[in-house]
C-alpha cells in the first residue's frame, strides 16, 4: 500500500475491513446512500423519516437529571425542532451559541410535543454554504474509521495521477457494446453519485455503474472457472475403452431396467471416459433417482480397461452400504472389491493397503480413509465421490493424487450430489465441471404423502405407528436437530426411545445416533434392515443414503428447524419400496411466517429440484449452495440471486473472450484475483 495515500494507522484499520491496497478500497462499495442534497422545512417533516434541516439556534439547555442531557432548540422560518445529545463534551456546550446557523441531518422522532433529532449529524454553516450535489455514501466500517475518513481516502485514491493507466478496461469494445461506462468512471460515481441520478438505483445496486462493476466481478469469476474447465482438457488421462459385452452382462444381471435418464447420463459419462483428458463431471439427481448404478456402470468399464476405481462416501454407514450393494453386483463378474474405512482395525486396513498397492483390489469403496497418505494405488483410473457437497474443497483437491507409478496420468472424476441446484445456477456456479442431471424416478415408486401436525398431537400419531407396524411395515422417528448442544440432542433421542419403548411393548424399538461407535451403528442398521427392529429412533445421522424399502412411515420432530434440503433428504428414506408411505412433520407452536412457507414447500413438493428452486427464492443462493462452508471463492459485490441476468451475460461473454484474448483475460482475473487464491486444481 503506497505510504503517501494512507498513513500507517489508517492502513491497519483498513486491513480490518479486508482492504489491502487502493483497488480494494475502490471496491469497498457503499452499503447505501444518504440524501444531503436537499433542505427540508421543519413544517414538512414527519417522524421516522431522515431529514436535513437548516435552522438557527434559539436556546440551549443542559440538565443532569435523570441523566446528562444537552438540548439545543432550533428554528427555521416554518417551525421549531429539538436536537438532543446524551453523550457530549463540555466543549460542545460552548459550540452551540445562540444565533448560529446549523445544518443537521438525522431521523425525526416524536417523543415530546416538539419533534426532535437525537444525536444528529451537524455542521455550522454560513448563509451561503453550498449544499452537497451528490448523495453521501454510507460504508461498511470498523471502529476508528469514520464515514468521513473513508470517503476522504477514497477520493484521495481517485486524485492520483495515471489512474487510467493503472486500471485500464481490458475489453473496451465489449463494454461499449453493452453500454457500460469505464470501470473508473463507474467506481467514481458509485462512491459519489451525482444528485441528478435516482438515489434508489444506487441503493439497490442497480445503477449502470454498479452493473458495470458487478459484471466485471462475474466475468472474472467465469473466466476463472471456465479457464479451469479448459485447462482440464490439457491434462492427460487414460482413455477408457468401452466394452458393450460386459455392459450387457451387467445389465442383464440387474433386477431392474435403467430409466431413460440413467441411460442418457451414462452415455455422457461413457463419452467423457473415452477422452484422453480427465472427466470432471457432477451428476445431480434427487434422492433415490438411482445414481449409484450409473456410477457402477462407469466403474465397470474402467476396471475392465485395467485400472482401479475408488468410490468415496462421506459416512461409514453409506460406504458400507455401497460396499454391500456393489459386492452383490460385481462379485459374479469376478471383480475384487475392497472396503476401507477409518474404523477398521489397523490389521484389516493394512491388508487393504496391500491389495490396493498390488492392484489385486479393483474397486475400493470407503470414506475419507481413501485419501490418506498411506493409500498407494497401483493404477487409479477413476474416482467416484458420492454426496460431493459433504466434502470440502480440500478433499476434492486431495483426490488429484495419482498413482506413484503413473504420475503423468490424471484419474477421471465423477462427483454425485443429491442436493439439487437449479440448472442455471449450477451451470454458472460449477462452471469448471460438466453437469449431468437425472430428473426422473425409477418406475413403481409409491408416492409419499406428507402431513403436518403440531407437536401437541404427538400422541395421536402413536396409533398410526401402531397400525403401520401391525401391517408389517417399519418406522423412522427422527429427533429434533439441536444445534446448540449435541448432548441435549442425545438426551432428547434417548427420552423418545424410552417413551416409545414403553408404549409399544409389542414392537421392538431401536435407537441410533452419532455418538455410537460405527460397529454399533452398523449392527443397529443391520437389525433394522432385517426387520428385527420395527421402529427406529434416530438423530439426523440417517440423513444420508440409508436404504430400507420396508420403512413406510417417518415422523420428523421440529421439522421447522431443519433446512428444506435436509427435510427432503430425510423424507427420501421412505417411499423406497412398493408400498405407500407417509411422512409426518411435527412442529412446535408459533411458527414464524417464513417457517410456515418453508413447511408448505415441503408439503406441496416431492421433486427435489422444485424444492431447491423454491428454497432459492426464499433464501438466496449463498445459503442454498452452502457457499460459506464450501471454500468456493465468494463474490464480494455480485449476488447470484439479484444479478442472475448479468451472470448469464457474463457467462456467455467469458466463453467468447477466453478464446480471443488470453492475455487480457488473465489480467482481468488477477485484478479480482485475491478472492480466488485458495481454489484450484493443481
Ligand atoms: P441415489 O440416487 O439416491 O443414490 P440409489 O442409487 O441409492 O439412489 O437408488 C435408490 C434405489 O433405487 C436403490 O435400491 C437402487 O437399486 C434402485 N434403483 C436404481 N435404479 C433403478 C431403476 N432404474 N429401476 C428400479 N430401481 C432402481
Ligand atoms: Mg446415493
- By alpha-carbon position, which residue is closest to atom 12 of ligand 1? 290
Least confident span in 110-119, 214-223, 552-561: 110-119
Mutate to test the pocket of ligand 1, among 263, 264, 293 (most ligand atoms within 8 A of CB): 293
Q: What is the pLDDT of residue 483?
A: 60
User: Which residues are within 5 Å of ligand 2 (an ion), measured at CB?
Assistant: 545
Q: What is the mean pLDDT of residues 456-460?
A: 84
| Residue 281: band (very low, low, confident or very high) from pLDDT cuts 50, 70, 90 | very high
Q: Write the pLDDT tens digit of every residue in 268-277.
A: 999 999 999 9
Nearest to 344, CA basis, from 523, 545, 546, 518: 518
**Rounded average pLDDT over 257-267:** 97
Task: Please identify, by atom number, the ligand 1 atom nearest to the C-alpha of residue 258.
Answer: 23
Per-residue model confidence as pLDDT tens digits over 368-401? 888 887 889 999 999 999 987 766 554 555 566 6
- 271 secondary structure, DSSP code: H
From the CB of 289, is ligand 1 less than 6 Å away? yes
Higher pLDDT, 372 or 291: 291
- Note the ligand closest to the C-alpha atom of 263: 1
pLDDT of residue 643: 86
262 C-alpha to ligand 1 centroid (Å): 10
In the chain, the percentage of residues whose pLDDT exceeds 70 is 90
Q: What is the pLDDT of residues 153-185, one digit of tens each?
A: 999 999 988 888 889 999 999 999 999 999 999
- Residues 323-341 pLDDT 10s: 999 999 999 999 999 999 9
**Residues 551-570: what's their mean pLDDT?**
88
257 CA: nearest ligand 1 atom: 23
Q: What is the mean pLDDT of residues 475-488?
A: 77
How many angstroms separate the alpha carbon of residue 290 from the centre of ligand 2? 7
DSSP H/E element including 190: helix 183-191
Q: What is the mean pLDDT of residues 138-152?
A: 92
pLDDT at 612 over 50: yes
Dist. CA 392 → ligand 2 center (Å)? 18
The x, y and z cell numbers of residue 230, run together, are: 479448459
Task: Spell out the residues 6+ positions from residue 561 whose beta carbon is closer than 8 angstroms to its own.
Answer: 480, 481
Q: What is the pLDDT of residue 678?
A: 37
Of residues 359 and 368, the one with the higher pLDDT is 359
503-514 pLDDT, tens digit each: 998 999 999 887
3-state secondary structure of 668: helix
What is residue 124's predicted lDDT score, i.e. its pLDDT?
93
- Residue 417 Cβ inside 6 Å of ligand 1? The answer reads no
Per-residue pLDDT reduced to its tens digit, 27-74:
999 999 999 999 999 999 999 999 999 999 999 999 887 788 899 999
Q: 423 or 410: which carries more pLDDT confidence?
A: 410
Among protein residues, the one whose CA lies closest to atom 23 of ligand 1: 258
| Confidence (pLDDT) at 357 | 94
Is the pLDDT at 520 greater than 80? The verdict is: yes
Residue 113's pLDDT band (cuts 50, 70, 90): confident
Going by CA atoms, what residue is nearest to atom 24 of ligand 1? 442
Between CA 520 and CA 513 the distance in angstroms is 10
Tallying the residues shown for the chain, one arrives at 682
Residues sharing a CB contact under 8 Å with residue 9, sequence separation 6 or more, in sequence order: none
pLDDT tens for 651-667 read 889 988 988 888 899 88
The reported pLDDT for the residue numbered 452 is 92
pTM value is: 0.73
**601 Cα–ligand 1 center, Å:** 25
In contact, 589 and 629? CB cutoff 8 Å:
no
Asked if residues 541 and 462 have their Cβ atoms less than 8 Å apart, the reply is no
**Quick one: pLDDT at residue 55?**
95
Q: Which carries the bigger pLDDT value, residue 56 or residue 620?
A: 56
Q: What is the pLDDT of residue 455?
A: 84
Atom 4 in ligand 1: residue holding the nearest Cα: 291
Q: Considering every ligand atom shown, identify the ligand nearest to the alpha carbon of residue 290 and give its number.
A: 1
Residue 289 alpha carbon to ligand 1 centre in Å: 6
Q: Whose CA is nearest to atom 19 of ligand 1?
A: 290
pLDDT of residue 398: 56
Instruction: Tell me what the pLDDT averaged over the chain comes to.
Output: 87
Ligand at minimal distance from the CA of 387 is: 2
Say whether pLDDT at 623 is over 80.
Answer: no
Q: How confident is the model at residue 674 (pLDDT cuts 50, 70, 90)?
A: low
Rounded mean pLDDT of 489-497?
A: 85
For helices 644-660 and 208-232, the axis angle rounded to 10 degrees is 50
259 lines ligand 1 (CB under 6 A): yes
Q: What is the pLDDT of residue 297?
A: 98
User: What pLDDT does residue 653 have?
Assistant: 92
Residue 490: pLDDT band (50, 70, 90) is: confident
The verdict on the CB of residue 489 being under 6 Å from ligand 1 is no
Left (φ > 0), alpha (ψ -120 to 50) or beta: where does 461 sit? alpha
Buried b (16+ CB within 10 A) or exposed e, 104-133: bbbebeeeeeebbbeebebeeeeeeeeeee
Q: Cα separation of 338 and 356, whole Å?
A: 8
Q: Is 562 in the pocket of ligand 1 (CB under 6 A)?
A: no
Q: What is the model's pLDDT at position 114? A: 85
Among all ligands shown, which has an atom nearest to the Cα of 293? 1
pLDDT in tens, 233-258: 999 999 999 999 999 999 999 999 99
546 in contact with ligand 1, CB cutoff 6 A: no
User: 291 C-alpha vs ligand 2 centroid, how far in Å?
Assistant: 6
Q: Which residue among 258, 290, 417 has the greatest number of ligand 1 atoms within 8 angstroms of its CB, and so is best to mutate?
A: 290
Q: Is 103 helix (H, G, I), strand (E, B) or coil?
A: strand
222-248 per-residue burial string, b: 16 or more CB within 10 A, e: under 16: bbbbbbbbeebeebebbebeeeeeebe
Closest CA to 552 of 538, 565, 534, 566: 534
SS (H, E, C) 216-229: HHHHHHHHHHHHHH
Identify the band that residue 629 occupies on the pLDDT scale cut at 50, 70 and 90: very low
Under DSSP, the state recorded for 488 is H
Determine whether the shortest distance from the Cβ of 258 to ligand 1 is under 6 A: yes
Atom of ligand 1 nearest to the CA of 292: 6
Helices and strands (H, E) in the chain, number of each type: 26, 21
Residue 92 CA to residue 122 CA, distance in Å, equals 12
Distance 656 CA to ligand 1 centre (A): 39
Percentage of the chain exceeding pLDDT 90: 52
Q: Is the CB of 290 under 6 A from ligand 1?
A: yes
In this structure, the residue with its CA closest to atom 9 of ligand 1 is 290
Query: Residue with the nearest Cα to atom 17 of ligand 1?
Result: 290
260 alpha carbon to ligand 1 midpoint, in Å? 13
Q: Which atom from ligand 1 is nearest to the alpha carbon of 285?
A: 2
- Cβ(549) – ligand 1 distance below 6 Å: no
Predicted local confidence at residue 89, as pLDDT: 85
Reported confidence tier of residue 491, pLDDT bands at 50, 70, 90: confident
Ligand 1 mutation target, pool 442, 575, 581, most atoms within 8 A of CB: 442
Which of 250, 258, 264, 292 gets mutated to test ligand 1 (max ligand atoms within 8 A of its CB)? 292
292 lines ligand 1 (CB under 6 A): yes
**How far is the centre of ligand 1, averaged over its atoms, from the C-alpha of 299 (Å)?**
16
Ligand 1 neighbourhood includes 285 CB (under 6 angstroms): yes
Ligand nearest to the CA of 438: 1
241 within ligand 1 shell (Cβ under 6 A):
no
Q: Are 275 and 237 in contact (CB under 8 A)?
A: yes
Amino acid at each position: 500500500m503506497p505510504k503517501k495515500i494512507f498513513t500507517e494507522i489508517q492502513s491497519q484499520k483498513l486491513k480490518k475491513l479486508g482492504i489491502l491496497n487502493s483497488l480494494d478500497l475502490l471496491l469497498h462499495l457503499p452499503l447505501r446512500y444518504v440524501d444531503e442534497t436537499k433542505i427540508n422545512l421543519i413544517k414538512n417533516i414527519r417522524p421516522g423519516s431522515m431529514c436535513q434541516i437548516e435552522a438557527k439556534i434559539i436556546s440551549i439547555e443542559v440538565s443532569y437529571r435523570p441523566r446528562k442531557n444537552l438540548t439545543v432548540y432550533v428554528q427555521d422560518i416554518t417551525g421549531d425542532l429539538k436536537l438532543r445529545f446524551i453523550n457530549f463534551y463540555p466543549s460542545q456546550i460552548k459550540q452551540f451559541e445562540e444565533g448560529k446557523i446549523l445544518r443537521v441531518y438525522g431521523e425525526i422522532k416524536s417523543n415530546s410535543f416538539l419533534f426532535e433529532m437525537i444525536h444528529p449529524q451537524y455542521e455550522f454553516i454560513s448563509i451561503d454554504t453550498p449544499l452537497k450535489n451528490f448523495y453521501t455514501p454510507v460504508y461498511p466500517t470498523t471502529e476508528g474509521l469514520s464515514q468521513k475518513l473513508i470517503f476522504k481516502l477514497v477520493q484521495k485514491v481517485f486524485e492520483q495521477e495515471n489512474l487510467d493507466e493503472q486500471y485500464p478496461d481490458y475489453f473496451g469494445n465489449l463494454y461499449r457494446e453493452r453500454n457500460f461506462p469505464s470501470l473508473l468512471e463507474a467506481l467514481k460515481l458509485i462512491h459519489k453519485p451525482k444528485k441528478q441520478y435516482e438515489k434508489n438505483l444506487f441503493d439497490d445496486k442497480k445503477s449502470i455503474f454498479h452493473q458495470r462493476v458487478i459484471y466485471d466481478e462475474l466475468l472474472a469469476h467465469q473466466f476463472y472457472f471456465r479457464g479451469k474447465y479448459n485447462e482440464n482438457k490439457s491434462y492427460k488421462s487414460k482413455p477408457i475403452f468401452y466394452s458393450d459385452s460386459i455392459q450387457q452382462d451387467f445389465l442383464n444381471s440387474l433386477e431392474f431396467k435403467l430409466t431413460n435418464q440413467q441411460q442418457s447420463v451414462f452415455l455422457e459419462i461413457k463419452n467423457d471416459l473415452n477422452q484422453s483428458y480427465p472427466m470432471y463431471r457432477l451428476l445431480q439427481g434427487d434422492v433415490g433417482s438411482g445414481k449409484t448404478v450409473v456410477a457402477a456402470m462407469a466403474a465397470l468399464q474402467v476396471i475392465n480397461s485395467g485400472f482401479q476405481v475408488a468410490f468415496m462416501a462421506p459416512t461409514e454407514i453409506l460406504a458400507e452400504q455401497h460396499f454391500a450393494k456393489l459386492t452383490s453386483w460385481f462379485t459374479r463378474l469376478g471383480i475384487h472389491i475392497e472396503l476401507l474405512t477409518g474404523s477398521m482395525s489397523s490389521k484389516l486396513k493394512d491388508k487393504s493397503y496391500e491389495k490396493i498397492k498390488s492392484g489385486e483390489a479393483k474397486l475400493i469403496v470407503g470414506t475419507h480413509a481413501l485419501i490418506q497418505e498411506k493409500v498407494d494405488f497401483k493404477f487409479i483410473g477413476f474416482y467416484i465421490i458420492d454426496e460431493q457437497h459433504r466434502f470440502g474443497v480440500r478433499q476434492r483437491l486431495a483426490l488429484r493424487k495419482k498413482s506413484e507409478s503413473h504420475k503423468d496420468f490424471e484419474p477421471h472424476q465423477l462427483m454425485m450430489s443429491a442436493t439439487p441446484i437449479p440448472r442455471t445456477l449450477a451451470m454458472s456456479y460449477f462452471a469448471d465441471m460438466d453437469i449431468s442431471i437425472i430428473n426422473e424416478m425409477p418406475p413403481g415408486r409409491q408416492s409419499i404423502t406428507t402431513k403436518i401436525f403440531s407437536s401437541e398431537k404427538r400422541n395421536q400419531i402413536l396409533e398410526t405407528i401402531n397400525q403401520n407396524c401391525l401391517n408389517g411395515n417399519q418406522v423412522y422417528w427422527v429427533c429434533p436437530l439441536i444445534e446448540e448442544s449435541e448432548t441435549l440432542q442425545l438426551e432428547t433421542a434417548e427420552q423418545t426411545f424410552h417413551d416409545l419403548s414403553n408404549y409399544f411393548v409389542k414392537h421392538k424399538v431401536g435407537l441410533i445416533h452419532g455418538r455410537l461407535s460405527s460397529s454399533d451403528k452398523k449392527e443397529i442398521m443391520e437389525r433394522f434392515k432385517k426387520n428385527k427392529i420395527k421402529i427406529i429412533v434416530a438423530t439426523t445421522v440417517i440423513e444420508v443414503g440409508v436404504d430400507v424399502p420396508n420403512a413406510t412411515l417417518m415422523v420428523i420432530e421440529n421439522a421447522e428447524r431443519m433446512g428444506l434440503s435436509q427435510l427432503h433428504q430425510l423424507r427420501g428414506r421412505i417411499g423406497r419400496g412398493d408400498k405407500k408411505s407417509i411422512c409426518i412433520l411435527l412442529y412446535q407452536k408459533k411458527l414464524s411466517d417464513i417457517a410456515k412457507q418453508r413447511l408448505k414447500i415441503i408439503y406441496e413438493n416431492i421433486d427435489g429440484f422444485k424444492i431447491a428452486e423454491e428454497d432459492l427464492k426464499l433464501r438466496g443462493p449463498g445459503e442454498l449452495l452452502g457457499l460459506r462452508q464450501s471454500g468456493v471463492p465468494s463474490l464480494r459485490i455480485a449476488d447470484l440471486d439479484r444479478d442472475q441476468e448479468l451472470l448469464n451475460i457474463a457467462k456467455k461473454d467469458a466463453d467468447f473472450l477466453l478464446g480471443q484474448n488470453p492475455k487480457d483475460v488473465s489480467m482481468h482475473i488477477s485484478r479480482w484475483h485475491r478472492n480466488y487464491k485458495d481454489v484450484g486444481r493443481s
